[in-house]
Structure formats: C-alpha cells, structure tokens
Amino acid sequence: MASVLILYSTTDGHTAKISHRLQQVIAQQDHRVDVVRLDDDPKIDLTAFDKIIVGASIRYGKHSKQVYEFINRYRDILDSKPNAFFSVNVVARKPEKRDPDTNPYLKKFLKQIPWQPMKLAVFAGKIDYPRYSFMDRTIIRFIMWMTKGPTDPTTVNEFTDWQQVEAFGRVIGEM
C-alpha cells in the first residue's frame, strides 16, 4: 500500500471533482490517498508521501501562478518520487486535443516549468455559464464562438470523459 497525495488547483471547482474521482479509483487499489487544494497554500510534508500527483485547471490559457510556484519550490521532492500531472481545460473537449502530446496548453506549460512529470493526462473540463460573472461569461462565450463550442449563456456543459479519468487513476495506482 502506497500513500498518494493529490494536490490540485481549481478555478471553478471542477478540478476538485476530478481529483476526488481519482482518489476513489486509486483508493480501490488499496492505497491511502489524500487530496489537498493547492490554492490554499497548504503546509504539507511532501516527503511523507510515496507518490505525488498535481492537477490544475486552465483559465484564459494559463494555469494559476500557485501551480508554477509550487513546482519551482518543490521540484526536487517531485523528482524524487513517482509523480504525475494532469491539466483540465475546455480545449480538451475536442478528442484530438485530449492527449498530452496534442494539447497546446499542456505542451506550453511543460516548456515553462523545470519539472518533467513521469505521467501526464489532459481532461476536458466544464463550462458553467450561469455561475460566471458577466465579464467571464462574455469572454468565454466569445472564445467558444471562435472555436465552435457551446455559447448558450444559460447552459452548463461538462465535457469530462470520466472513463479517461478512471483509467488515469488506475495508471497512478500501478506506478
């Protein structure tokens, strides 16, 4: 049995939902799994875990600055253990952008950080128009219009392939 830490950064809560689904799948493989929100700047002893997984959402093409800061601060510990990173973004709603090798946001992110995760995944996120501020709703609708995505401001559109999430959880459990 390994102890696994899933640290996540979320904008609207969907990365938290994905992190908790990963927790369930990994725990079914007889591992102890803790899930911690990275945005809260947790004071956690990373050396106490056997595996470390980091997940982060994208908003307007970027992961949060806390993700970059965390990776820069703890790169040596991350590199010393089995590790993984997953990105959650709406561009991954398109099957051809759901792979780490084809997702432009993940490719750009990996070029900007000193850490090269052992395992990678990209999950399609969620658009929750009613929850957004007027400004975010307007900008996201414009982006969706340009990329031929959903633009109805009254809808919630979840694009996540939960089987893909569960498959990644099994990969983590086997690392």
Secondary structure, 3-state, 54-89? EEEECECCECCHHHHHHHHHHHHHHHCCCEEEEEEE
pTM of the model: 0.92
Extract the residue ranges of the chain whose pLDDT is less than 70. Answer: 41-42
| Tokens coding 124 | 């399609």
Q: Are residues 119 and 87 in the same domain?
A: yes
Q: Are residues 89 and 138 in the same domain?
A: no
Give CA–CA dist 67/52, Å, rounded: 14
Q: Are residues 22 and 79 in the same domain?
A: yes
Count of residues for the chain? Answer: 175
Q: Are residues 154 and 164 in the same domain?
A: no
On whether the CB atoms of residues 119 and 170 are closer than 8 A, the answer is no
- Which CATH number does the domain housing residue 41 bear? 3.40.50.360
Domain with 144, as residue range(s), is 127-158
The predicted pLDDT at position 18 comes to: 97
The predicted pLDDT at position 116 comes to: 94
Q: Are residues 71 and 134 in the same domain?
A: no
On whether the CB atoms of residues 148 and 32 are closer than 8 A, the answer is no
On whether the CB atoms of residues 10 and 38 are closer than 8 A, the answer is no
Place of tokens 């875990």: 49
Instruction: Count up the domains in the chain and report the number.
Output: 2
| Tokens coding 30 | 């007889």
